[in-house]
Structure 1
Amino acid sequence: MQWKDIAKCLHVSAKTLRRHRSHLGIPDDPYTTISDEDLDQNIVDILYLAPQSGETYVIGGLRGRRIFVPRARIRERLNIIDPVGRALRWRSTIVRRTYNVTVPNQLCVYQPRIQQSLDQFISMWNHHGLRTMNGQSPLALWLGDYLSTK
């Protein structure tokens, strides 16, 4: 959550919140001040516990130790500490296929028969009556809620 969002929740201006933070000694910088040597030692400790750990796992391990540093700095330190392991992990990533779809955000890229079955199921689900909602369908409930908020 950003400071401006916190100020909005407290119903004060961001400037007022900034003044109170400086009065209480709360820093603006969300990151922990830590030397490269200490950061390297913490990363090595995490990699010792889980040798195949990648960037995300290391970030989680550091956060568990209440150490917050920018992702770019962790990448830099990992490249220095474990360049071979990093290269091996990148080598084994899965290359995803690129799909060309006719409609933006089209969810299904299946054969026509499978797509037809999925469309039929979706239609049946959207139009079946719900016992607890006076027999209204999920689609009718959504439309009613959508129109009432407009």
Structure 2
Amino acid sequence: MPFVCSWKPAALPVLGALLAAAPAGAQPAPRAAIAQVLATQTAAWNRGDIPGFMQGYWQSDSLVFIGQKGLTYGWQPTLAHYRKSYPNAAAMGQLGFSGLRITPLGPDAAEVVGGWHLARPAPLGDVGGHFLLVFRRIQGRWVIVADHTS
């Protein structure tokens, strides 16, 4: 059964409290660990930190990002894509996720489907869309290995 939630920056303290309640040294459940990655990405984005946002992605040439402009392979080219597309804080806006559906595909893989929204000032205006993320647990860490965002 998938985990579905609406993600707002105000939910960060609640998620932090839930994760802090886990026994010391315990690995959080996949859904909680993946939700934490998304929360960390949201916080980094909303403070204008694209390299921090990118920490949620697999740092590999095998990472794939699929967007409106086609395929981008590799962590470094994906970072360059984000920097070019969002050159300043106004262009970045404030990120929010909604309707997140986290579905484990096995012990070390999961998919996340949801919506994204950037609240941006005029004249840029708000933008948003939907995404499908493929997460894998690599060396004990959940990371995005494929991102299809529209």
Q: TM (normalized to structure 1)?
A: 0.20
Query: Relative contact order: is structure 1 or structure 2 higher (C-alpha 8 Å, sep ≥ 6)?
Result: 2
**Greater strand share, structure number:** 2
More helix, by proportion: 1
Q: Which has the larger radius of gyration?
A: 1
TM-score of the pair, normalised by structure 2: 0.20
